């Protein structure tokens, strides 16, 4: 028999009853049932129940073991009584009667339990990550990640892509985040950089004549941490293709990603409809460039309905250049209680509140409507098929007891029945619905409006569950204004401007790039673009962002040189592995799907990184640490 095991802890079934077996693993838990000991023995594959009574030669040894000891157990397979079968375990029909036990590794008192789903502080979990990873959920997440990566590789090879590895030590490159720098011992005062992405190398692979490249690539960015982003390193599915337009990239990527979600999210709907949404429209409709399309709410510009209206706040706001009023429709949200709740949400977001209108059926009287709005009320009621007499009495052919649908709330009262009705019709709303309104320069309120849209969708049960919906966000602006009033790249600096060199001769802020993102359920999964492969366009693009030709040659000399010797049109993208697995595992925190993650302060609590270097190491690198002021 093997020194440690004849079977794994998920192998045994009733077919092995009567056999002598050897199992090794961790003691998941021990239960003492009055002279009969039960041990749940766990390994990577599963759990087997081991039993020992006072007649067992292993009884005295089993009495000594504690949770997470590593043991080797010899025993005989027995069938469980029908009443004791555990259908939740693959081994639930059997148990192993222990005849011998060898302790392979004792465990000290545990700082956190492995058995059960008790939530422990993240600091403890990361300091003892090796224990955390023994827990069922984390173990399952890591296996999901491994299987997703395997499946991605297979799908990419099946689509004619070839996998190549690119350097980890390279030159610094402006990719939109801070580099991690690596000092050179052989070249004092000079530094390498860990790659933020294999961007330049994968483009050089295309110039070198390879047609379809992919890699599961480690990337390093010195970023501020977020729940859906690692602060130091992450992995991405990196892709590049020659002789393609963006539609070709989309066509190659969709079967891979959609197939992954269908394979690893059984029972959930994976939409095959991946619409293309312009960046500017995504911000206008959803308040985000990574919209959650499970929520059907689409915001609209309703400035025209408030310009010159009786609602002075919005009317005066619209007199300022560049301002808008946006509406967030809220189907079924037509109650004052819900409107007040959303107002409170807006105040938590730092706004004074949101204007709102909710629609209900009601008859008005002359006393309840200002004189200038009475005729409007009669007109609106008439458009709905009602007849209003001078006192406000309502009649309608074939009277059914219904009343006209009218807006309620202070905002409606100020703008009057006619504008309120026009808003209702524009927004496609009806009885029992509501709408919320925000105004100003879009960049000051779009993000808040997007969060309010998400909150409304959740509160009203409009947002789908158990569904994945994707959208390509396209036509990103090539440039943006900096806080200092200059011009910088807004996205990937290596993308081809739409319109080529000619487009760069005009206003940079009006230039769109062949850049695209893939959004899924409110997260960005993919970012990519069609590349700028012509040196003259590349020089001009960087010049507008403040980089002279000499700087371009210095930073990207290898790529510029390569482009001068015949570069094919090419493009690609990168998909975040960590974020894909996070969605598939239904986790809100990316650290739940990374085996050894950093904490929120970019610290490795298990290995003690970052750490102070030895004086000898600094001397070898010709470095000196200057104390922070």
Instruction: Give CA–CA dist 173/246, Å, rounded.
Output: 24
pLDDT at 90: 94
Alpha carbon of residue 221 to chain centroid? 17
pLDDT, tens digit (0-9, with 9 covering 90-100), for 298-312:
999 999 999 999 899
Q: Report pLDDT digits (tens) over 43-91.
A: 999 999 999 999 999 999 999 999 999 999 999 999 999 999 999 999 9
Query: What is the residue-averaged pLDDT of the chain?
Result: 93
Inside any domain, residue 218 = no
Q: Where does 331-424 show beta strands of DSSP type E?
A: 355-361, 387-388, 394-395, 405-408
Q: 591: which DSSP letter?
A: G
Q: Which residue has the tokens 């006393």?
A: 367
Q: Is there a domain that residue 326 lies in?
A: yes
Give the confidence band of 463 by pLDDT, cuts at 50, 70, 90.
very high
Model confidence at 227: pLDDT above 80: no
Task: Identify any residues that bridge with 50 across adjacent strands, giving them in sequence order.
Answer: 39, 96
**pLDDT above 90 (res 118):** no
Q: Is pLDDT at 230 greater than 90 in this prediction? A: no
Number of domains in the chain: 2
- Structure confidence at residue 35 as a pLDDT band (50, 70, 90): confident
Asked if the structure places residue 361 within a domain, the reply is yes
The answer to the question of residue 276 being in a domain is no
Instruction: Output the pLDDT for position 119.
Output: 84
- pLDDT value of position 92: 95
Q: Would you state the pLDDT for residue 400? A: 67
The string of pLDDT tens digits covering residues 381-410 is: 889 888 887 766 777 766 666 888 999 988
| Low-confidence winner among 69-83, 196-210, 226-240, 500-514 (lowest mean pLDDT) | 226-240
**pLDDT per residue as tens digits for the range 517-540:** 999 999 999 999 999 999 999 999
Residue 111 lies in a domain: no
Residue 437 forms part of a structural domain: yes
- Domain assignment present for residue 579? The answer is no
Q: What is the CATH number of the domain that holds 61?
A: 2.40.50.140
Give the residue numbers spanning the domain of 25: 14-105
- Per-residue pLDDT at 176: 63
> Of 61, 80, 105, which residue sits at a domain end?
105
Paired sense of beta strands 434-440 and 233-242, if any: unpaired
The answer to whether position 32 is within a domain reads yes
Residues 6+ apart with CB under 8 A from 203: 240, 494, 531, 533, 559, 562, 570
> What residues contact residue 545 under an 8 Å CB cut-off, 6+ apart?
479, 487, 488, 489, 493
The pLDDT, as a whole number, for residue 374 is 87
**Which of 78, 105, 132 is the last residue in one of the domains?**
105
- What's the pLDDT tens digit per position in 333-378? 999 899 999 988 988 888 888 899 999 988 887 777 787 888 888 8
Q: What percent of the chain has pLDDT over 70?
A: 98
What share of the chain in percent tops pLDDT 90?
80
Q: What would the pLDDT profile of 13-24 be if each residue is shown by its tens digit? A: 999 999 999 999
Q: What is the pTM of this model?
A: 0.91
Out of 443, 463, 483, pick the residue that ends a domain. Answer: 463
Averaged pLDDT for residues 254-276: 97
- 258 vs 404 pLDDT, higher one: 258
Reply yes or no on whether the pLDDT at 414 is more than 70. yes
Give the pLDDT confidence score for residue 399 in this predicted structure: 61
Answer yes or no: is pLDDT of 223 > 90: no
- Report the DSSP pairing between strands 300-301 and 324-330: antiparallel
The residue among 569, 487, 573 whose CA lies nearest residue 532 is: 569
CA 76/CA 220 separation, integer angstroms? 52
């Amino acid at each position: 028999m093997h020194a440690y095991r004849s079977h794994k802890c998920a192998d045994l079934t009733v077919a092995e009853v009567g056999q002598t077996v050897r199992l090794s693993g961790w003691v998941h838990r021990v239960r003492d049932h009055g002279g009969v000991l039960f041990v749940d023995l766990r390994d990577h594959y599963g759990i087997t129940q081991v039993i020992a009574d006072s007649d067992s030669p292993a009884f005295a040894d089993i009495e000594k073991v504690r949770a997470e000891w590593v043991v080797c157990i010899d025993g005989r397979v027995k069938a469980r009584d029908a009443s004791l079968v555990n259908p939740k375990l693959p081994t639930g029909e059997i148990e192993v009667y222990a005849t011998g036990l060898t302790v392979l590794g004792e465990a000290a008192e545990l700082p956190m339990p492995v058995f059960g789903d008790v939530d422990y502080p993240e600091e403890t979990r990361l300091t003892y990550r090796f224990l955390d990873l023994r827990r069922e959920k984390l173990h399952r997440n890591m296996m999901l990640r491994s299987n997703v990566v395997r499946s991605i590789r297979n799908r990419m090879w099946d689509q004619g892509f070839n996998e190549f590895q690119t350097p980890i030590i390279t030159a610094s490159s402006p990719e939109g985040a801070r580099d991690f720098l690596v000092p050179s011992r052989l070249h004092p005062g000079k530094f390498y950089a860990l790659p933020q992405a294999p961007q330049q190398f994968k483009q050089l692979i295309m110039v070198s004549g390879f047609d379809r490249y992919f890699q599961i690539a480690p990337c390093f960015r010195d970023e501020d941490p977020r729940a859906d982003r690692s602060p130091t390193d992450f992995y991405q599915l990196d892709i590049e293709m020659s002789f393609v337009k963006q539609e070709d990239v989309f066509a190659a990527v969709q079967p891979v990603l959609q197939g992954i979600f269908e394979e690893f999210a059984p029972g959930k709907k994976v939409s095959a409809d991946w619409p293309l949404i312009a960046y500017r429209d995504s911000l206008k409709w959803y308040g985000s460039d990574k919209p959650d399309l499970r929520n059907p709410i689409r915001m609209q510009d309703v400035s025209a309905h408030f310009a010159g209206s009786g609602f002075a706040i919005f009317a005066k706001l619209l007199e300022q250049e560049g301002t808008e009023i946006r509406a967030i429709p809220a189907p079924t949200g037509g109650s004052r209680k819900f409107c007040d709740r959303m107002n409170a949400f807006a105040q938590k977001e730092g706004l004074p509140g949101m204007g709102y209108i909710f629609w209900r059926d009601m008859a008005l009287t002359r006393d309840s409507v200002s004189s200038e709005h009475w005729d409007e009320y009669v007109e609106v009621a008439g458009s709905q098929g009602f007849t209003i007499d001078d006192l406000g009495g309502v009649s309608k052919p074939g009277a059914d007891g219904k009343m006209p649908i009218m807006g309620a709330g202070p905002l409606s009262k100020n703008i009057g029945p006619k504008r309120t009705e026009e808003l209702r019709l524009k927004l496609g709303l009806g009885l029992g619905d509501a709408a919320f309104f925000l105004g100003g320069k879009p960049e000051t309120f779009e993000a808040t409006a997007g969060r309010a849209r998400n909150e409304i969708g959740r509160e009203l049960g409009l947002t789908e569950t158990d569904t994945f919906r994707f959208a390509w966000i396209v036509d990103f602006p090539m440039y943006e204004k900096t806080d200092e009033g200059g011009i910088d790249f807004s996205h990937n600096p290596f993308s081809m401007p739409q319109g080529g060199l000619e487009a760069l001769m005009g206003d940079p802020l009006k230039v769109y790039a062949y850049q695209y993102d893939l959004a899924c359920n409110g997260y960005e999964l993919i970012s990519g673009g069609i590349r700028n492969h012509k040196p003259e366009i590349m020089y001009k693009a960087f010049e507008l962002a403040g980089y002279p030709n000499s700087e371009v040659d210095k930073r990207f000399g290898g790529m510029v040189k390569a482009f001068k010797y015949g570069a094919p049109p090419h493009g690609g993208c990168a998909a975040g592995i960590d974020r894909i697995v996070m969605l598939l595992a239904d986790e809100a925190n990316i650290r739940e799907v990374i085996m050894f993650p950093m904490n929120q302060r970019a610290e490795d609590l298990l290995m003690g990184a970052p750490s102070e270097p030895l004086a000898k190491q600094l001397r070898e690198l010709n470095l000196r640490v200057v104390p922070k002021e």
